[in-house]
Amino acid sequence: MSEFISSPHNPIVKLVASLRLKKRRDETGLFIAEGIRLVEEALGSCWKAHMLIYTSDIKETQRFQDLLTKLDPRDCRIIEVPTNIFERISETEQPQGVMLLIDKRSSNKLEQLIDHERPLIAILDAVQDPGNVGTLIRTADAVGCTAVILTRGCADLFSGKTVRASMGSIFHLPVYPDMSPVEIVEFMERHKIKLLATSLESSDNYCSADFTDRVAIIFGNEGNGVSKDLLEHSYKRLHIPIIGKAESLNVSAAAAVILYEAVRQRGWLACN
């Protein structure tokens, strides 16, 4: 059975509004997936749903009714709110009238990566724009990456902008946030995974790299690139040739180019 909340002063309304802040997401262990597509993706994954909030505008649609069949009211509270309250707690300009609060404590263990014979890992080093982080996760999912690792200094994995930019890929691909360069280097060396780093200086054309082995590719900060600590431990440094007058590619675009080259080399794509 669903509940109805009409007061903007209700504790649940205040809780949802507070989850815009990373501090509150960390304290509560919750984050938000907003919009029908993201809610569908979340409910189709192994992530634990905590609370579904919706408006009367969406509840009669077939897509929403299909969502309800995936929920157990004993495990996930289902709450209807008026449109004006939903608009107050929404982070989007044109709210679709549905959001899901999710437990952000993941059961992914880094050691699971060694189960893959030839892991292909994307490492995001202090990528600060949440849109870039989400888009990179989406790209990594699209190419079939084994996992994504975020260093400390990256945009928060669970911010609304990151989650929306991932278009649901956050729910289907193992992502390991808040790792230090030391932890990354030690793990890769222990499991014989080669580190490749993107760099504009003293680097080779990305097409010359061998991506068929056990590799992790590092994509750096939007302004400063890959940190010195990771560059020094990289097996090879790579760049994408710039033909025109642009100084460089956006980190998300660069990641797409290089990751699809890795896919091509591995024979994962049928080029028809």
- Asked if the structure places residue 207 within a domain, the reply is yes
Residue 48 is given by DSSP the state P
CATH number reported for the structural domain that contains residue 39 in this entry: 3.30.1330.30
CA distance 155 to 32: 16
Alpha helix positions (H), 19-98: 22-28, 36-43, 56-59, 62-68, 83-89
* pLDDT tens for each residue of 8-54: 999 999 999 999 999 999 999 999 999 999 999 999 998 999 999 99
Q: What is the pLDDT of residue 248?
A: 85
Q: What is the CATH number of the domain that holds 177?
A: 3.40.1280.10
**Window from 104-113, 177-186, 219-228, 243-252 with minimum mean pLDDT:** 104-113
Q: Helix (H) and strand (E) counts for the chain?
A: 11, 12
Of 95, 98, 81, 83, which Cα lies nearest the Cα of 42? 98
Minimal CA–CA distance to 172: which of 47, 31, 39? 47
Counting residues of the chain whose pLDDT is more than 90, the rounded percentage is: 83
Q: Mean pLDDT score of the chain, rounded to an integer?
A: 92
| Residue entry with tokens 């360069």 | 181
The answer to whether position 88 is within a domain reads yes
Do 218 and 141 belong together in one domain? Answer: yes
Return the number of other C-beta atoms located less than 10 Å from residue 2's C-beta: 13
Domain carrying residue 18: 3-103
Q: Look at residues 46, 42, 137 and name the one whose alpha carbon lies nearest to residue 98.
A: 42
Same domain? 123 vs 196: yes
Supply φ then ψ for residue 174, to 5 degrees: -60, 125
101 band by pLDDT with thresholds 50, 70 and 90: very high
- For residue 195, give the nearest of 181, 205, 179, 208 by alpha carbon: 181
